[in-house]
Amino acid sequence: MEDLETFYGWYNNPDLRKFLIMPYPTTKLDEKEWIEKRTKGKDEVVLSIVVKRGSRLIGNIGLHNINRVTRCAMLGIAIGDLKMASKGFGTEAIRLMLDYGFGTLNLHRIELFVHDFNDRAQKAYKKLGFVYEGRKREALYSDGKYHDELLLAILKDEWIRKRGNR
């Protein structure tokens, strides 16, 4: 809860929200409820992204909708501190979350959606080994236009091979 003000600021920044599924600004109460739900949820793991040097909070990453039967989950990430974007922190956070999801949680598949205009994220996901699987046509409305959402996923054996080649 001590980071509520930080999250509130991030998720009310339209430059960040356009990359998330957050078409509207949020309230402090909404943020508080979001944090409380994440700490009680049994089907998700949400963590903060903190730069080691200086302990600077820069974002969040999570595995959502964890299905223990099919061993699948949905990845979500946001670098809320936009000054820290494009410096490799998101990529490293995803690597660590994939290790956790496939190693500790024994997941088989981790998937995500990315907007068609988010070239930076698409490049990072593909570099990590995510594979394009499909497109939800005009599923997002942003800045007065419809955009597609792309579905990407990575399987446990693909991640193990990718980690071996690192």
Q: Are strands 72-79 and 109-115 parallel, antiparallel or unpaired?
A: parallel
For 154, list phi and psi in degrees, rounded to 5: -140, 140
- Dist. CA 143–CA 160, nearest whole Å: 39
Look up the pTM and report it: 0.86
Residue 111: strand pairing partners:
74, 153
Sign of CA dihedral 122, 46, 54, 99: negative
User: Where residue 22 falls among pLDDT bands split at 50, 70, 90?
Assistant: low
SS3 19: coil
- Give the model confidence (pLDDT) of 136-152 as tens digits: 999 988 778 899 999 99
Q: Give the separation between CA 64 and CA 8, rounded to whole angstroms.
A: 21
Q: How far apart are the first and last CA of the chain?
A: 37
| Nearest partner of 48 among 6, 19, 86, judged by Cα | 6
* Angstrom distances, CA of residue 67 to CA of 35, 48, 64, 72: 21, 22, 9, 5
**Domains with residue ranges and CATH for the chain:** 4-164 (3.40.630.30)
pLDDT digits (tens, 9 = 90+) for 28-45: 888 788 777 777 778 999
Candidates 23, 90, 30, 100; CA nearest to 66 is: 100
Most confident of 8-17, 87-96, 138-147: 87-96
